[in-house]
């Protein structure tokens, strides 16, 4: 045995770690957690050594020779999920805590680990189950004197569930913003000030700034936090016709970045822009892509920073050189992203894209169900839409989840965790 004896459960024991010849490898702390009172719900022995790489390699090899094997990515958390110690939302929140790039995102993930997101989903699922029971009773016992749909207030119950789902979706969307952030790409002709704007936003000299067009040959990415939201900003090569092979490659990457971005900032040199001239670069931006047109270099015109236009045509006048108007731009970015400012992140929980997609599916099936509440001859269709809505919610917590989805989720965990 590595320790010579089994430690007392849930007590830190100072122990000698022994090799196959009973020679001491290291001296450290041993902690034994018998099932089911452990993280995974199984017997677990933790060995805490001094941490030097040579000593830890010896200890690891000793464990392997005793019959252990190296854990797969996320295997401990996967076992905790499979043994019903946590649900799938809580399992994903473990990875979210590790990946969190801001304090707000970390607090949001901890809320999910504590079960706040799961509790909201379970509440919604319980209401759906109760409603399904009523519908199934009418279907199974049509000859009995069961109240009709109007008397059972089926439509009102559905509206209440739909309202709760909408509330959960709004909070989940905030959590998704905190966790995954938004990707912003800066595009424009050469020398309009994209690199200067990047430096202003990140408050650092992240990009080289010169008056020579074509200085930026490749995409440059930096991540900042605005109100706790990770903002991934990509500075791109200026879009123009060029025979330079290296610059052409950079322009190709610019087009790729535009397609994958959540928001495009189109920079224009306001000192040279003709108001009636349509910028050729606008043709490179998909019509359905959120866009802010940024008129830079107002310091050369002596004008003030300002915002013009509406949702589909937002124009902001700034100076990337002096910083005037940068705060207006930051606030507008949050506005377009849909962020509702929350100083403490109270009540906000971590949500990944798959959670939002599942909630959207549940919402769609509830809306479909509402169409079948007026006619009792469509009860089977109503019951089926409610069942599909419940399946979508169950996929979030993992009560109804395909094995291939589990493999995808846990493959992104760090080794062992």
CATH number where 48 lies: 3.30.1360.120
Q: 195 and 307, same structural domain?
A: yes
Q: 157 and 219, same structural domain?
A: no
Is 19 within the bounds of a domain? yes
Is 322 within the bounds of a domain? yes
Q: 330 and 285, same structural domain?
A: yes
At residue 35, the pLDDT reads 94
Kindly report the CATH number assigned to the domain that includes residue 151. 1.20.120.430
Nearest to 216 by CA among 245, 240, 194: 194
Range of the domain at 330: 181-337
At residue 147, the pLDDT reads 54
At residue 325, the pLDDT reads 93
The span from the CA of 90 to the CA of 92, in Å, is: 5
Q: 328 and 390, same structural domain?
A: no
At residue 343, the pLDDT reads 53
At residue 195, the pLDDT reads 82
Residue that terminates a domain, selected from 337, 364, 396: 337
Is 174 within the bounds of a domain? no
Sheet holding 229-235, edge to edge: 220-226, 229-235, 182-188, 263-269, 291-296, 314-317, 306-308
Nearest to 16 by CA among 31, 34, 3, 32: 3
Q: 101 and 202, same structural domain?
A: no
Nearest to 311 by CA among 332, 340, 286: 332
At residue 206, the pLDDT reads 45
Is 173 within the bounds of a domain? no
Is 251 within the bounds of a domain? yes
Q: What global pTM score does this model have?
A: 0.73
State the total domains in the chain.
3
At residue 406, the pLDDT reads 65
At residue 193, the pLDDT reads 86
Q: 400 and 314, same structural domain?
A: no
Q: 56 and 95, same structural domain?
A: no
Q: 195 and 132, same structural domain?
A: no
Residue that terminates a domain, selected from 291, 306, 337: 337
Q: 58 and 85, same structural domain?
A: no
Q: 316 and 187, same structural domain?
A: yes
Is 22 within the bounds of a domain? yes
Q: Which residues contact 62 (CB under 8 A, 6 or more apart)?
A: 2, 17, 18, 19, 20, 25
Q: 133 and 106, same structural domain?
A: yes
As averages over each run of 10 residues, the pLDDT of the chain (417 residues) reads: 89 93 93 94 93 89 92 91 92 89 87 92 92 80 56 83 94 88 86 85 54 49 84 74 56 74 88 62 77 91 89 87 91 84 68 93 94 79 92 86 61 67
Kindly report the CATH number assigned to the domain that includes residue 235. 3.40.50.300
Is 311 within the bounds of a domain? yes
Q: 85 and 159, same structural domain?
A: yes
Is 305 within the bounds of a domain? yes
CB 148 within 8 A of CB 125: no
């Amino acid at each position: 045995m590595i320790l010579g004896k089994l430690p007392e459960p849930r007590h830190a024991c100072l122990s000698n770690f022994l090799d196959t010849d009973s020679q001491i490898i290291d001296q450290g702390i041993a902690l034994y957690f018998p099932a089911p009172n452990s993280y995974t719900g199984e017997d677990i022995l933790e060995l805490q050594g001094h941490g030097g790489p040579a000593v830890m390699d010896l200890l690891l090899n000793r464990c392997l020779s005793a019959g252990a094997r190296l854990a797969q990515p996320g295997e401990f958390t996967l076992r905790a999920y499979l043994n019903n110690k946590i649900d799938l939302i809580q399992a994903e929140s473990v990875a979210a805590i590790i990946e969190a790039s801001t304090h707000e995102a970390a607090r949001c993930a901890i809320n999910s680990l504590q079960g706040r997101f799961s509790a909201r989903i379970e509440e919604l699922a319980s209401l759906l189950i109760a409603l399904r029971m009523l519908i199934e009773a009418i279907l199974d016992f049509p000859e009995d004197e069961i109240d009709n749909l109007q008397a059972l207030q089926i439509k009102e119950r559905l509206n209440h569930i739909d309202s709760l789902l909408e509330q959960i979706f709004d909070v989940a969307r905030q959590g998704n913003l905190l966790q995954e952030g938004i990707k912003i790409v800066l595009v424009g002709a050469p020398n309009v000030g994209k690199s200067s704007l990047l430096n202003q936003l990140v408050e650092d000299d992240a990009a080289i700034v010169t008056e020579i067009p074509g200085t930026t040959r490749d995409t440059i990415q930096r991540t900042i936090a605005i109100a706790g939201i990770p903002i991934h900003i990509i500075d791109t090569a200026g879009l123009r016709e060029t025979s330079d092979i290296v610059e052409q490659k950079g322009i190709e990457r610019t087009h790729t970045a535009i397609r994958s971005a959540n928001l495009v900032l189109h920079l224009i040199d306001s000192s040279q822009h003709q108001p009636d001239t349509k910028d050729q670069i606008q043709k490179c931006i998909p019509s359905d892509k959120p866009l802010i047109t940024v008129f830079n270099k107002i310091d050369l015109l002596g004008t003030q920073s300002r915002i013009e236009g509406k949702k589909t045509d937002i124009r902001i006048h700034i100076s990337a050189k002096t910083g005037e108007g940068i705060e207006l731009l930051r606030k507008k970015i949050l506005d377009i992203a849909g962020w509702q400012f929350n100083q403490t992140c109270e009540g906000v929980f971590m949500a990944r894209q798959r959670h939002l997609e599942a909630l959207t599916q549940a919402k769609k099936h509830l809306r479909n169900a509402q169409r079948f509440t007026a006619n009792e001859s469509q009860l089977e269709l109503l019951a089926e839409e409610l069942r599909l809505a419940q399946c979508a919610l169950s996929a979030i917590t993992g009560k109804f989840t395909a094995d291939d989805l589990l493999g995808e989720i846990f493959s992104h965990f760090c080794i062992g965790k």
